[in-house]
């Protein structure tokens, strides 16, 4: 773009150049807005920035709005406070779905707007709360922006910023410079960052990386779902017990199941210990033997492959011990520090919301004691009144960290807990139901294995998932004799994942009852 012609056009029309930034908490939207205003003023322009905060983290982004004009005879222009649909020159969206929201709001128009968007995702509450895959389809957003914007620059600016030790505002500033929509040289952008005085070098690195990326490849391909990636199996894991597991996997199982089995070994070793991962291979090995004798090879061992996945999921159930373990790991504190950009001289506190029930407490106790309390209604109710309440826990404080650390240390006794007993019983009943179908209806047996997807989480989430699993499995007797039984079982599972209250599942079960 010719900068001289641009400037003359702007001065002749006296129409301000307008920018809207859509950013969430912690993404540096305010810093980006300040940089743009500072840049304009350093270049002799007049600029104004306003902001309208969102409702809360990831239920509504803050909109920063900037208008700028070249200074004219010392006369201060009158700027607007809010963006007007159809009247925005540049929209910068710090997350892909926020780019979609800017289109819906009418801020992006095909005759005027340059859209600069990061393609990474920060999932909204509505996406997270759905029982199944509630993630919005990114290809729909990309298609909409292609139609709605005059020009689009879109790539993962968040990952690029993190690789360079900065935050997304730096990489978005670089993409803005590369877009040539502001009549200022790249050096002026860099000088603005230097003028900030804080985190200058990482910010400049992210800025230049994004600038080069936007110039070389302004768009990246977006898939509807991220590609599946499995870690390659090493020749040695560096520990005798782990090496034995890997060697056993290679020797006893078909190659098609190796990726999921290796992932299962890693998951269960992390969850408990190598001996627990060995138990996992024992159980899947028995399922593989049944698969081989029931035409499994002609089905590419689909039963074994899916069992490798969901038996590991079932054995690595979410209990209080697991939750405490994950919340006290150093890697988690480091990840959060990096995500929110904590400086070396700052202290990080994370506030967790926990709502334990007496059921979880009994599940963590030795099975005999847990059963005794559960079978004593008055005692159980008396304890539940004192336990069953919401708590806000700061895991960075000494008291709560030590408390959770002690709970996490109970993993050594996990095999003797009431929760483990019940999980093992439920797992075996599920696998018996699946294996009993192998000789009669192979595809239906595979779908029964896949039903384990419905059971997840702990506390109320686990109870709801278990209820849906039981309801879906209740149709098994009706479907086991049908050639299309696998198709209907899959439909029931998909219906169960549509909503939290199971309304869609109710309708699907009524349909199955009429078959």
Domain final residue, candidates 174, 192, 216: 216
| Single residue among 172, 194, 216 that ends a domain in this structure | 216
Q: Which residue has the tokens 């700028």?
A: 68
Prediction pTM value: 0.75
Q: Is the pLDDT of residue 345 over 50?
A: yes
Question: Could you tell me if residue 359 is inside a domain?
Answer: no
Is 504 within the bounds of a domain?
yes
User: Sheet holding 17-23: strands in order across?
Assistant: 45-52, 62-70, 17-23, 90-93, 114-118, 151-155
pLDDT in tens, 241-252: 888 999 999 999
* Phi and psi based region of residue 28 (left: phi greater than 0; alpha: psi -120 to 50; beta: remaining): left
The closest alpha carbon to 394, from 356, 350, 328, belongs to: 350
Cβ-based neighbours of 134, under 8 Å, separated by 6 or more: 126, 127, 128
The pLDDT of 87-113, averaged and rounded, is: 89
Total structural domains in the chain? 2
Contacts of 319 (CB under 8 A, 6+ apart): 360, 363, 364, 414, 417, 419, 420, 458
For residue 61, the enclosing domain spans: 3-216
Q: Is residue 267, in this structure, part of any structural domain at all?
A: no
Q: Which residue among 196, 216, 236 closes a domain?
A: 216
Kindly give, in sequence order, each residue whose CB lies less than 8 Å from that of residue 291, ignoring residues fewer than 6 positions away.
301, 303, 304, 307, 438
For residue 43, is it within any domain?
yes
Residue at 398 is within a domain: no
pLDDT in tens, 269-326: 999 999 999 999 999 999 999 999 998 999 999 999 999 999 999 999 999 999 999 9
C-beta atoms surrounding 491 within 10 Å: 16
Q: Is the pLDDT of residue 8 over 50?
A: no
Number of other CB atoms surrounding residue 144 within 10 Å: 15
Is residue 189 domain-resident? yes
Look up the CATH number of the domain holding residue 142: 3.40.920.10
DSSP calls for 309-372? HHHHHHHT---HHHHHHHHT-HHHHHHHHHHHT--TT-----EEEE---HHHHHHHSBHHHHHH
How many Å apart are CA 360 and CA 419, to the nearest integer?
A: 8
Q: Higher-confidence residue: 9 or 509?
A: 509
The stretches of 442-482 forming alpha helices (DSSP H) are 442-450, 459-473, 476-479
* pLDDT over threshold 70, residue 7: no
CA pair distance 173, 189, nearest whole angstrom: 8
| Confidence grade of residue 5 (pLDDT, cut at 50, 70, 90) | very low
- SS3 for 180? coil
Q: Is residue 39 assigned to a domain?
A: yes
Query: HSE on the CB side for 131, CA within 13 Å?
Result: 28
Domain annotation covers residue 61: yes
């Amino acid at each position: 773009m010719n900068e001289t012609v641009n400037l003359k056009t702007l001065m002749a029309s006296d129409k301000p150049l307008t920018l809207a930034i859509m950013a969430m908490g912690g993404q540096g939207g305010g810093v980006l807005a300040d940089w743009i205003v500072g840049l304009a003023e350093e270049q002799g322009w007049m600029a104004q920035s306003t902001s309208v905060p969102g409702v809360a983290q990831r239920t509504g982004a803050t909109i920063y709005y900037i208008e700028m004009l070249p200074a004219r005879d010392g006369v201060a222009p009158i700027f607007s406070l809010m963006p007007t649909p159809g009247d925005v020159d540049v929209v910068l969206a710090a997350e892909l779905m926020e780019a979609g929201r800017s289109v819906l709001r009418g801020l992006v128009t095909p005759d005027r707007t340059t859209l600069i968007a990061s393609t990474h995702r920060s999932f909204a509450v509505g996406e997270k709360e759905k029982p199944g895959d509630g993630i919005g389809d990114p290809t729909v957003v990309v298609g909409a922006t292609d139609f709605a914007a005059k020009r689009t620059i879109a790539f993962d600016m968040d990952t690029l910023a993190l690789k360079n030790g900065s935050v997304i505002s730096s990489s978005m500033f670089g993409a803005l410079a590369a877009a040539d929509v502001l009549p200022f040289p790249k050096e002026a952008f860099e000088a603005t960052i230097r003028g900030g005085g804080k985190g200058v070098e990482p910010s400049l690195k992210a800025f230049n990386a994004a600038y080069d990326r936007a110039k070389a490849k302004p768009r990246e391909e977006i898939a509807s779902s991220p590609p599946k990636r499995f870690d390659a199996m090493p020749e040695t894991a560096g520990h005798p017990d782990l090496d034995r597991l890997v060697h056993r996997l290679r020797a006893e199982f078909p190659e098609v199941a190796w990726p999921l089995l290796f992932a299962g070994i890693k998951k269960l070793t992390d969850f408990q210990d190598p001996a627990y991962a060995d138990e996992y291979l024992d159980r899947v090995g028995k399922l593989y033997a049944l698969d081989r004798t029931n035409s499994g090879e002609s089905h590419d061992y689909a039963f074994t492959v899916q069992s490798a996945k969901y038996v590991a999921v079932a054995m690595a159930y979410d209990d209080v011990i697991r939750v405490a373990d994950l919340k006290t790991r150093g890697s988690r504190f480091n990840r959060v520090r990096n995500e929110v950009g904590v400086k070396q001289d700052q202290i990080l506190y994370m506030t967790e919301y926990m709502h334990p029930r007496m059921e979880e407490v009994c599940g963590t106790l030795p099975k005999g004691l847990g059963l005794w309390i559960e079978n004593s209604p008055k005692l159980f109710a008396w304890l539940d009144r004192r336990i069953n309440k919401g708590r806000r826990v700061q895991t960075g404080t000494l008291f709560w960290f030590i408390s959770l650390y002690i709970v996490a240390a109970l993993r050594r006794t996990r095999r003797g807990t009431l929760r483990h007993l019940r999980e093992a019983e439920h797992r075996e009943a599920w696998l018996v139901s699946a294996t009993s179908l192998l000789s009669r209806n192979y595809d239906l047996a595979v779908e029964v294995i896949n039903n384990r997807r419905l059971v997840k989480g702990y506390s109320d989430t686990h109870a709801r998932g278990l209820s849906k699993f039981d309801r879906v499995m209740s149709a098994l007797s009706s479907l086991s004799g049908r050639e299309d039984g696998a198709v209907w079982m899959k439909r029931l599972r998909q219906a169960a994942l549509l909503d939290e209250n199971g309304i869609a599942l109710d309708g699907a079960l009524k349909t199955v009852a009429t078959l």
